[in-house]
Amino acid sequence: MRLLQVLIVSLMLVLWGASAADQTFRLEGLEQPAEIIVDRWGVPHIYAKTHYDAFFVQGFNAARDRLWQIDLWRRRGLGLLAEAFGEQFIEQDRANRLFLYRGDMYREWLAYGSDAKRIAEAFTAGINAYVNLIQEDPELLPPEFELLDYGPSRWEAADVVRIRSHGLLRNVSNEVRRARIACAAGLEFADNWRVLEPEWATKLPEGLDPCDIPADVLKTYSLARSGVSFRPDTVAGTATLPAIDGAGAGSNNWVIAPSRSATGRPVLADDPHRSHAVPSLRYIAHLVAPGMNVIGAGEPALPGISIGHNERIAFGLTIFSIDQEDLYIYERDGDRYGYHGDWEHFEYIEETIPVRNGQDVDVVLRFTRHGPVIYENEANAFAVKAGWLEPGMAPTSAALNTCERETGVSS
């Protein structure tokens, strides 16, 4: 067991006319004493004496600032909303469980880098250290928990990467929309709807009638990717078709070559368009430890920095439209589905959704060889195959590698 180490939080700012006093915490899990200096803009500058302590403190401070936000994100992603908020969230919990990463965790961790698992373990241990403090001092509990009458959960490292449904993903919605246009007006009209790049001639698979694809085929998919609404009339999800790719948020970036800049150094401009929110999607931090000095923005529930710079390199991220999802349509025969002229059995996973002030609900999650089944009728089953459900493809997972020792950023 590690000894209790000191974490000093210095608030170098004045809030609403009152000076904030320094705070000192003694935490189990720190290898060495560490310090957080919060500047006048509210940005935490974290100084640690070991590599993993930096991520421990990052998790601790994210919980100190954003505990209810990240706890809600975790519940949504793991399908645990009904446990805290009641039966109206059962369907959303079931939808989210369909899109959890359920593959080999060894391959998963290895895909992000040699010490990604240890980084996630340190980060979640920091979150849990703050939750433990709340058990000792209930006055630290954020008011949202009191208003909703429940408490924060403890994290596991796997939670960071198993949750996949929070990314910007919309390829399958385009495919369904194209099929619906083909049903209404023919494939030639669908081809005129949007130019495909590289050039591609769309063909209807033999035996497929695009009119067999229901208008609400993506209801479960959309619900799995929806935020949390506390309005009873919207919780169940009403969207039948997500936004068209490119019709909503955009994203872009560009670089100026050294020969074209006044300083003779390259300039990186990174512009991932995201909507305003309170609390914000972004969380800015500065991490300093042996072999690491990196500052920028990430997300409060993720370790590392995804948009920022170290002492030599700047890096960023934007979204890019690629073919990363497919809707599979199968003939159905009871508990079997047709594939390549043969019949295969659905894979079943049975889970229990805990329900606050109600009976726990047993749910059956159905999968094909390609992915989760999102819609069924007597004749057909529909499943989504997604690149982001493969090992190493958790959204914004690059943040796990942006703080590698020595280089400070992954390529």
Give the tens place of pLDDT for each residue, 387-397: 999 999 987 76
Low-confidence ranges of the chain (pLDDT < 70): 1-21, 232-250, 397-411
> Would you list the DSSP string of 262-319?
TTSS-EEEEEE-----SS-S-EEEEEEETTEEEEEEE-TTSSS-SEEE-SS-EE----
CA distance 162 to 393: 10
Architecture of the domain made up of 171-248+321-389? Roll (2.30)
Q: 10 Å Cβ neighbour count for 206?
A: 5
CA distance 206 to 203: 9
**Amino acid symbol at 252:** N
* H or E element at residue 403: none
Q: Where in the chain is the domain with CATH 2.30.120.10?
A: 171-248+321-389
Predicted local confidence at residue 91, as pLDDT: 97
Burial of 70 (0-12, 13-18, 19+ CB in 10 A): buried
What is the dihedral angle through the alpha carbons of 369, 164, 244, 210, rounded to the nearest 10 degrees? 10
Predicted local confidence at residue 20, as pLDDT: 58
Is 30:7 a contact under the CB 8 Å cutoff? Answer: yes
| CATH fold for the domain made of 4-162+266-318 | Penicillin Amidohydrolase; domain 1 (1.10.439)
- Comparing CA positions, the residue from 42, 65, 46, 66 lying closest to residue 56 is 46
CA distance 199 to 316: 29
Predicted local confidence at residue 273, as pLDDT: 80
CA distance 271 to 278: 20
Predicted local confidence at residue 399, as pLDDT: 65
Is the full-model pTM beyond 0.85?
Answer: yes
List, as own/partner pairs, every contact residues 222-227 make where C-beta atoms lie below 8 angstroms and the sequence separation is at least 24, other chains included. 223/91, 223/92, 223/95, 224/92, 224/95, 224/96, 224/98, 224/99, 224/165, 225/99, 225/165, 225/166, 225/169, 226/92, 227/76
Q: Where in the chain is the domain with CATH 1.10.439.10?
A: 4-162+266-318
